[in-house]
Structures are given as C-alpha cells and as structure tokens.
Amino acid sequence: MATRVLVANAEKSYHNQLIDILKRSGYLVIAEQNESKGALQAALKIEPDVIIIDDNLPGGSLSLARDIYDHNIAPVLIATTYSEKDMIEIAKAAGVFGMLLKPIHETSILPAIETAINIFNNIKSLERDIKKLKQEIEQRKLVERAKGLLMDKKGFSEGEAFRYLQKVSMDKCVPISKVAKNIIAKLQVK
C-alpha cells in the first residue's frame, strides 16, 4: 500500500515539482492545501501517513506543525531553503520530524519521509506501551489495596487475601482489578 501524503504548500513552481517527485517515488498524494487552516482540517479528516509543509505557508507553517503534533496525526516534514541552526531548533520545538532542503531532490525525499514515518510509529508504539504499563500499575495498586483491607478488616493472610480476590474474579468472570475496586468500596467505609 502506498504511503499517503498531505502536501501543504502555496509556492506554485515548487509545489508542482514536489508533487511530481512524490508521485514518481511511489507516494500517493491524497490532499494538497495552500494555507495552514485548510491543511489542519484536511489532516484531521483524512489522517495521512506523512505531511509535508512549506516553511512559508500562509497561516504559519510551524504553528500548523505544532497543531498536527499535538493531535498526534502524522509526522511532519518542513520544506525550507534555510539550513541555519535557528530554523532547526524552531522546527524541533514545533514537533517536526524532519527537514527537506529546497530544492528537493528525489534521492533525499525517500529517506526523509521513511525515517520520519518510522520514528513516528516507534513513538506511537512506545506511547501505547506506556499507557498499558500505567494501567497495569494502577490495577496492581488496586489489588494490593484490596488485599491490605482484607487482611486488616477480615483477618486474612496475604496469600489468603490474594486467593480470595482470584476466586471471586474467576467465579464472576470479571477482572481482578474490578473485584478489588468493589472490595475497596465495601471495606473502606466500614
């Protein structure tokens, strides 16, 4: 399946050259915008795989890049004639995943796009892992709290408390964390 690209650029001559390079390189240009508000709306609606923004985009290229980053839509590449350190620092602060120096050459666009997509996907995967780990920690805290209440209020040993939670979980076919929440709610008020 071809990589889906949104291009946000108002510079006609450069725009046509970029679209031609993308198509020849096997990319599918699914949207073209010439100002930042329309580009953000298109990005939110179609969720492209990568977004290329010209640094002189009407409405603000870096503010658009920041909005796209904040919405976690897709990696953004900024196409620019500037290679100064200041532009690179500004782009990093805006959540840009890469820079394309104008004039863009076919040989440089493929590695830039594929690297940006790879980094973006790795970050999303890590974010999912972090979320899952946080949920597991919260569930363990609930189980530990419920065990403590069972030990304190019912005189169970730690092993007995855990086995009780497991048994209720299996008997009712509900997650042990839900059983723990119910026990906490019942025993905490007593």
Find out whether the peptide bond into 103 is cis, omega within 30 degrees of 0: yes
Choosing among 3.65.10.10, 3.40.50.2300, 3.30.70.20, 3.30.70.250, the CATH entry for 4-104 is: 3.40.50.2300
Q: Characterize 70-99 residue by residue with b for buried, 16 or more Cβ atoms within 10 angstroms of its Cβ, and e for exposed.
A: eeebbbbbbbbeeeeeebeebbeebbbbbb
The CATH number of domain 132-188 is 3.90.1300.10: no
Higher pLDDT, 189 or 38: 38
Residue ranges, comma separated, of all CATH 1.10.10.10 domains in the chain are: 132-188
Which residues 6+ apart lie within 8 Å of 82 measured at CB?
55
Q: Which residue has the tokens 């019912």?
A: 154
Average pLDDT across the chain, whole number: 89
pLDDT band with cut points at 50, 70 and 90 for residue 84: low
148-to-29, 138, 141, 168 alpha-carbon distances in Å: 58, 15, 10, 16
SS3 102: coil
Q: Which residue has the tokens 């999912």?
A: 128
pLDDT in tens, 34-83: 999 999 999 999 999 999 998 888 888 888 999 999 999 999 998 887 76
DSSP-derived letter for residue 27 is -
Average pLDDT, stretch 168-175?
94
- Look at residue 117 and tell me whether its pLDDT is greater than 80: yes
Contact 104, 21 (CB under 8 A): yes
Considering the chain, what percentage of its residues have pLDDT values greater than 90? 64
pLDDT in tens, 11-23: 887 888 889 999 9
**Confidence (pTM):** 0.77
Q: What is the pLDDT of residue 39?
A: 94
Higher pLDDT, 87 or 106: 106
